[in-house]
Structure 1
Amino acid sequence: MAKDVFHQQVKKALIKDGWIITHDPFTIRISEAIKLQIDLAAENAIAAERNTEKIAVEIKSFIADSDISEFHTALGQYLN
């Protein structure tokens, strides 16, 4: 899986903000034949509680010739 141009910058920003990167990439298996990969998964302990916040981050840069084409690709991935 090719990483987005800003992958490392986003990862560093999350770490600087106190997030722990748990997966790079984060794979979700739908079935034996179908799996999705999200760029990063992270968790952050909530100071006043024992639970944790968890996020999945998909990184998009929109650097191709067509912003509309990039938007449609990103939207399609989000809808999946």
Structure 2
Amino acid sequence: MKEMYVDPGARRFLAAEKAGRKIDVEIKSFVSHSEMRDFEQAIGQYIAYRDVLRKIEPGRDLYLAISEEIYEDLFEEPIGQLIVKNHGIRLIIFNQITEKIVRWIP
């Protein structure tokens, strides 16, 4: 069986608490020439990390943190909404300038 090595130091990742629940937050930057490619990669990584996290720390929830701009450009589109809903992806949307959270989903 292959092992997945998740190295929080290798990406923008943090652990926190929300309403008494332990959460992990992966902060994604969409910086390549293709936002759709970044979207696909972010969703795939999120699902893989979430599944591993459920096995090793079942009490933690994983959130994907993205900027408002990326949320509006990709995640509010019908394909984005479909994928978020079907895969139960938890999102934190933040303002890139103020670096403040503007929305939690769900």
Interval containing the TM-score (normalised by the shorter chain): 0.3 to 0.5
Q: Which has the higher helix share?
A: 2
TM-score, normalisation: structure 1: 0.44
Structure with max Cα Rg = 1
State the structure with bigger RCO (CA 8 A, min sep 6), 1 or 2.
Answer: 1
TM-score norm. by structure 2 comes to 0.34
